[in-house]
Structure 1
Amino acid sequence: MIPVLRSELHRTLTVPSSWISIGAAVVLGMSFALFSVDFWSLFAALGVFGIAVVTTTQHYQHHTAMLLFLGQPKRWVAFLAQCVAAILIGLVVAAVSGITTILSGDFVQFAGTMAAVPLLAIFGVASATVVRRPVPLFIGYGTWFVFLEGLWFRFEEPLPFTTFMSAAGGKNPVGLLFFAGYTAAALAVALWTIRRDLTD
């Protein structure tokens, strides 16, 4: 798994679009933390999720997934390496963007968000492995978050992104458990569907 992980980190950190995404996530997170720590958690989450989705779907869009799986025939190992890479990058992005949150003394919010970031990174990789295209995934989840969780259910638990934001506040460990359940479900679906043909 280590060679695949090293390859994924190298690929992510040498592609200009990745640096743009990472930089934007950091700047937005630091900027909105000046207004509200909840905004920081939200934009840190969007950055981590977006980076995980984009770096995973690039393999399918640019047809490098075939090379990835030729190098590592056990697709679940390659998938695991992608998850670990997304977690490491996500933690760095969240930590750097959270500097203003730390300086303001909101350690509980910072710790809660950092604890939830690895789950969100895995959730992003798993979702991207199933859908394989970033635009439909972003539109689908964005619609779900705004209209269903927001307007319809008024951000009540235990819906997925609501539980993440609740956990990110650092005061509701139950929210983290709920989101861990959603992540586990997405992980199971991804591990099942990763075996399908690369042209699908």
Structure 2
Amino acid sequence: MIAVLRSELHRTLTIPSSWLSMGLAVVMGMSFALFSVDFWSLFVALGVFGIAVVITSQHYQHRTAVLLFLGQPRRLRALAAQCVCAILLGLIVAVVSGVTTILSREFEQFTGTLAATPLLALFGVASATVIRRPVALFLAYGTWFVFAEGLAFRFKQPLPFTTFMSAAGGNTQGLLLFSGYAAAALGVAAWFIRRDLAD
């Protein structure tokens, strides 16, 4: 698994779009932290989720998944390596963009967001493993976030992104609930990763 993880990190960090995505996430997070720490958490969430989805789905888009699974036939190990890669990059983005949050002395928001970031990275990798097309995935989740969690339930029900934002604010119950969503998504991904690469 270490070799696969090294390969994933190398592949991700040699693609200019990956640096662009991480850079934008950091800049937007730092900028919006000046207005509200909740906005910082939201933009960190968007950045981490986006990075996790892109680095996972690129394998299926560019057909490098064939090489990945030839090098590591045990697909669950490959999935685990992708998860660790997304977690590491997500934490780097969260820590660097959180500098303005620390300077504002919003330590609870900072630690809460850091605690929830790995779970969001797992959720992103799992989602991209199931829905291998990033544009369709972003549209689906964006629609869900705005219309279901926002307009229909006013961010008051324990739905995935609402529980993430609750966890980012330091709410232990929100962190536990979002852990459940991440675990469920990984369970589904572990099943779907076995399907044919042509799907």
Quick check: TM above 0.5?
yes
Gaps of 5+ in 1: none
CA-based RMSD of the aligned residues comes to: 0.4
Quote the residue 1:107 is aligned against. 107
The match for 1:95 is 95
In 2: Cα distance, 1:96 partner to 1:125 partner: 21
Displacement of 1:157 after TM fit?
2.7
Provide the rounded CA distance (Å) in 1 between the counterparts of 2:71 and 2:17.
24
Q: Could you tell me which residue of structure 2 aligns to residue 199 of structure 1? A: 198
The answer for the alignment partner of 2:142 in structure 1 is: 142
Q: Structure 2 matches for 1:145-164, cutoff 5 A?
A: 145-164=145-164
Listed as ranges, the matches of 1:1-200 within 5 Å are: 1-170=1-170, 172-200=171-199
Letter in 1 for 2:65: A
CA deviation map 1:27-50 (0-9, x unaligned): 000000000000000000000000
Cα displacement string for residues 127-165 of structure 1 (whole angstroms, at most 9, x for unaligned residues): 000001100100000000001100000001311100000
Aligned equivalents of 2:38, 2:123: Cα separation in 1: 20
Gaps of 5+ in 2: none
1:108-127 deviations in whole A, cap 9, x for unaligned? 00000000000000000000
- The number of aligned residues is 199
Once the two structures are TM-superposed, the CA of residue 70 in structure 1 deviates from its matched residue by: 0.1
**Could you list the runs of 4 or more consecutive aligned residues of structure 1 that deviate by over 3 angstroms after TM superposition?**
none
User: Which segment drifts farther, 151-160 or 78-87?
Assistant: 151-160
TM-score by structure 2 length? 0.99
Write the distance in 1 (CA, Å) between the matches of 2:96 and 2:146: 27
3-state SS, counterpart of residue 143 of structure 1: helix
Deviations 1:47-71 (A, max 9, x none): 0000000010000000000000000
